[in-house]
Amino acid sequence: MAPTRLETSLYLFLLLCTVATVAIGIHMARPWGDNYAYRDASGYGVLALMLLWAVSPYAGLALGLRLLRGSRVASRVFAGGALIVAIPGLVAYVDAAFVHLDAQGGLVFVFAPLLQWAGLAALGMAGALLRLWKPDPRGGERAKVHP
State the pTM of this model.
0.83
CA distance 13 to 63: 14
Packing angle, helices 5-29 and 72-94, rounded to 10: 20
H-assigned helices in 3-107 = 5-29, 41-67, 72-94
CA distance 133 to 131: 6
**Contact present, 22 and 55 (Cβ < 8 Å):** yes
Q: What is the pLDDT tens value at each position of the chain, 147 positions in all?
A: 677 888 889 999 999 999 999 999 999 888 777 777 777 778 888 889 999 999 999 999 999 999 888 778 888 889 999 999 999 999 999 999 999 888 888 899 999 999 999 999 999 999 888 888 766 555 555 555 555
End-to-end C-alpha distance for the chain, whole angstroms: 23
